[in-house]
Amino acid sequence: MYAGPSQKLKPFGESIFSEMTRLAVEHKAINLSQGFPDFDGPDWLKAAAIDAVRHGPNQYAPMTGQPALRQAIARKAERWYGMRYDPDTEISVFSGATEAIFSSINGLLEPGDEVILIEPYYDSYPACVAMAGGHCRYVALRGPSFDLDLAELVATITPRTRLLMLNTPNNPCGKVFSRPELEALARVVTAHDLLVITDEVYEHIVFDGQPHVPLATLPGMRERVLTISSTAKTFSMTGWKIGYVLGPASMVAAARSAHQFVTFCTVSPFQMAMAQAIDRIDDYAPELVREYDRRRQVLMAALQDTGLGVRSPQGAYFVLADIRPLGYDDDRAFCHQLATEVGVAAIPASAFYRHTDIGRHLVRFAFCKNEATLSAAGEKLLKLREKMQPCV
Ligand code: PMP
Ligand code: GLN
């Protein structure tokens, strides 16, 4: 009899996002757990997709992505960041950043290679490293401002370390790495001859005028950094699953070598629509930030009213709340009670840690929701103190 997934995958169980969304649905809780908007991207983008479905292309896209989309990505990278990439050899389209991460890690790693993950990390990274036959080593962001201790990072590197995964703006903690922080990181990366995958899917959701700095733009980084982004968050179309990578031809070719045997290519007509969207991003992005800033404020105010410990995130669309001021110290038990008794679903942050004790007092709330949804969640959260008994 077959008894469940392979040893490689068994430790990862079910994704926390599926688990918490299921709990939200079962208990009719307001879902601030899984990071998807409860609104759609713009109507003009839908119209462009409908037009592309009507008139084609509706057959397989090129394995590397629709040329129109790769060209739009190249133009945007140059306009926004001064990064110049050849759309034929240095840019490739994937079925979401999720597949880009999987294919990049699997294309780049040799079995036994070590990969450094910065805790808190996105949940798919360790699973992808395991599937590629690699080993993870961990370094945690510390303190209330989630600082990276470079000495700790250096101590984590061994002769077998091949790759570092960086996520800025960070899911779940909202940290946006500053230029000086990235410069310091770049020096370590160069000194130890590491490759880097930077996950920048929230590149356009950064607050308070702080710039998003792609690591690849720093001196010496272009030849060793693969930048991953996604249209899901920027255009509020998470279900379209269109992500992409930019990097030196050799690293992009490695990611393509896996991609051709995973999905081979990404959905054709939606790529054509996204090409138009990326060309409109200069006008679109400032409004996106303004809207998310308002939502951030609504959620922050609601969480502050509950007595949970919160800091405003610099980027992405999540707030990490400290549950200890209310007498709780187990994020999983807290989230379970929150969904079933208060009617709001959130994500236990320990899911983003290998050393789960570091994240056990933190819970992630998503604000990629209409202000009405966030306000309704805020009202329910006010009942937190009366309804819930500390689960310690
Ligand atoms: N990386 C991070 C940090 C994410 O939060 C997500 C979820 N959107 C992804 C990658 C996956 O992106 P996509 O939906 O494009 O697969
Ligand atoms: N990126 C989304 C989040 O962080 C989840 C995407 C997924 O469910 N895989 O919530």
Q: How confident is the model at residue 388 (pLDDT cuts 50, 70, 90)?
A: low
Dihedral of alpha carbons 200, 205, 207, 213, sign: positive
pLDDT exceeds 70 at position 97: yes
Secondary structure E strands in the chain: 30-31, 91-94, 114-119, 135-140, 161-167, 195-199, 225-230, 243-246, 309-310, 318-322, 344-345, 347-348, 362-366
Candidate of 128, 168, 230, 274 to mutate for ligand 1, largest count of ligand atoms within 8 Å of Cβ:
230
pLDDT exceeds 60 at position 156: yes
Residue 215: what pLDDT?
98
pLDDT average, residue stretch 243-272:
98
Dihedral of alpha carbons 366, 367, 368, 371, sign: positive
Question: Please, what's the b/e burial string for 338-360 (b: 16 or more CB within 10 A of its CB; e: otherwise)?
Answer: bbebbbbbbbbbbbbbbeeebbb
Tell whether ligand 2 has an atom less than 6 A from the beta carbon of residue 34: yes
Half-sphere exposure of 40 (CA within 13 A, CB side): 8
pLDDT exceeds 80 at position 385: no
pLDDT exceeds 80 at position 153: yes
Q: How confident is the model at residue 161 (pLDDT cuts 50, 70, 90)?
A: very high
What is the distance between the alpha carbons of residues 137 and 123, in angstroms, rounded to a whole number? 14
Which structure tokens are listed for 120?
A: 């808190």
Residue 391: what pLDDT?
59
pTM: 0.97
Environment class of 391 (CB within 10 Å of its CB; exposed 0-12, middle 13-18, buried 19+) = middle
pLDDT average, residue stretch 45-71:
98
What is the distance between the alpha carbons of residues 186 and 214, in angstroms, rounded to a whole number? 11
Residue 386: what pLDDT?
73
Tell whether ligand 1 has an atom less than 6 A from the beta carbon of residue 236: no
Tell whether ligand 2 has an atom less than 6 A from the beta carbon of residue 268: no
pLDDT exceeds 60 at position 392: no
Tell whether ligand 2 has an atom less than 6 A from the beta carbon of residue 167: no
Place of tokens 């060793």: 224
pLDDT exceeds 70 at position 387: no
- What distance in angstroms lies between residue 344's CA and the mean position of ligand 1's atoms? 22
**Residue pLDDT, tens place only, 352-384:** 999 999 999 999 999 999 999 999 999 999 988
Q: How confident is the model at residue 143 (pLDDT cuts 50, 70, 90)?
A: confident
Helix, coil or strand: residue 59: coil
Tell whether ligand 1 has an atom less than 6 A from the beta carbon of residue 95: no
**Residue pLDDT, tens place only, 198-209:** 999 999 999 999
> Contact, 247 vs 225, CB < 8 A?
yes
Q: What is the mean pLDDT of the chain?
A: 96
Candidate of 31, 34, 170 to mutate for ligand 2, largest count of ligand atoms within 8 Å of Cβ:
34
Q: How confident is the model at residue 110 (pLDDT cuts 50, 70, 90)?
A: very high
What is the distance between the alpha carbons of residues 126 and 134, in angstroms, rounded to a whole number? 9
Residue 56: what pLDDT?
97
Q: How confident is the model at residue 144 (pLDDT cuts 50, 70, 90)?
A: confident
Helix, coil or strand: residue 30: strand
Residue 283: what pLDDT?
97
Helix, coil or strand: residue 243: strand
Which structure tokens are listed for 84?
A: 């110049």
Q: Percentage of the chain with pLDDT > 70?
A: 98
What is the distance between the alpha carbons of residues 11 and 115, in angstroms, rounded to a whole number? 18
Phi, psi dihedral angles at 208 (to 5 degrees) = 60, 30
**Strands 225-230 and 243-246: what pairing?**
antiparallel
- What distance in angstroms lies between residue 93's CA and the mean position of ligand 1's atoms? 14
**Residue pLDDT, tens place only, 184-226:** 999 999 999 999 999 999 999 999 999 999 999 999 999 999 9
> Contact, 126 vs 151, CB < 8 A?
no
Rounded alpha-carbon distances, angstroms, from residue 326 to 44, 313, 389: 45, 21, 9
